[in-house]
A and B are shown apart, each in its own frame.
Chain A
Amino acid sequence: MNAQTFLRATGLLLAPLVAVHLLSVARFAAAVPPDTFLAPAWEAASSRLSNPFWRFWDWTAFTVALAHGGVGLHLLVADRVRAPRWRSAAEAALLVSLVLVAGLATYAYLTVPFGARNPVLGGS
């Protein structure tokens, strides 16, 4: 699979993944003040990730988005950075950054505590 095909395929996958993620975050955020769309209150955010479904959904969306962006940036570097040394350095920096961010996110999604009360559905 070449880079353009990968971008198209992951882009199509990301459309529903991201749309559902954002609508779900908005629904949970609305349940606990302060209601902020992109960063819900602690209780709302932790209770949302107490649900294994949303945890897996978010991790999948995050990982696919990171891979999509990484390949997109790789193409941009290949297009725009002409000098071989600078291109190698940029590619290496990109790869290291992606691995670090993916590692941090995966660790976080695996270790957010379960069991927070669900402000949307009630109970735990």
Chain B
Amino acid sequence: MVESRAERLAGALRRVAGLALLLTLPLLALETFLLAYGDPQLYAGVAGFWATPSGRAVAILLVAALSFHGADGLRAVAVDAWPRARRGGLLAASFLLAGLGAAVGAFLVLRPGVMA
């Protein structure tokens, strides 16, 4: 079955989101390395970025990218596994799941009590 325009767009967005997520992995490795290095001030200097307003904005975007990448990836798996499934329905479900994940992520980043 031929992919719809919306499915092609979702697939392209999934790749872009995946690339952004891949680029954050070296940063995660660096933060873990700083934990191993054993200097709390150095660690706080690097990891403290996430506590700044711009850091929180980036965190929300990253969690949204992760949520979309995961949800659209599950849609792709479902399309492969059940070729006769309603593809429009799967696409809508993946958007819903991605939105839900992004909302939970945004709540975790901005939840009450952490913005002082």
Q: Does A111 lie at the interface of the complex (its beta carbon under 8 Å from any beta carbon of B)? A: yes
A15 to chain B, nearest CB (A): 6
Q: Cα distance A2–B40 when bound, in Å?
A: 43
Contact across chains for A35 and B114 when beta carbons are under 8 A apart: yes
Known: A69-B22, A108-B35. A35 touches B113 (CB 8 A): yes
* Any A CB within 8 A of the CB of B59: yes
Q: Of residues B22, B26, B38, B114, which shows the largest number of chain A Cβ atoms within 10 Å of its Cβ?
A: B22
Does B43 contact A42, Cβ atoms closer than 8 Å? yes
Is there an interface contact between B29 and A105, defined as CB atoms closer than 8 Å?
A: yes
Asked if A62 and B51 make an inter-chain contact with CB atoms under 8 angstroms apart, the answer reads no
Q: Which residues of B contact A73 (CB under 8 A)?
A: 19, 22
- Report the Cα distance A106→B80, complex, angstroms: 34
A contact residues around B40 at 8 Å (CB)? 42
B33 partner residues in chain A, CB cutoff 8 A: 104-105, 107-108
Interface magnitude class on chain B? 35 or more
Residues of B within 8 A of A113 (CB): 36, 38
Query: Across the interface, which residues of A come within 8 angstroms of B18, CB to CB?
Result: 69, 72
B25 engages A65 (CB within 8 Å): yes
Q: Counting CB contacts under 8 A, is B55 at the interface?
A: yes
User: What is the chain A residue whose CB lies nearest that of B35?
Assistant: A112
Given contact pairs A15-B74, A62-B25, A37 touches B36 in the complex (Cβ within 8 A): no
Q: Return 22 A-B CB contacts under 8 Å, by A number.
A: A7-B73, A12-B77, A15-B70, A22-B108, A26-B108, A33-B116, A34-B51, A34-B114, A36-B114, A37-B108, A39-B51, A42-B44, A45-B35, A46-B35, A62-B25, A65-B21, A70-B22, A72-B22, A104-B26, A105-B25, A105-B29, A111-B36
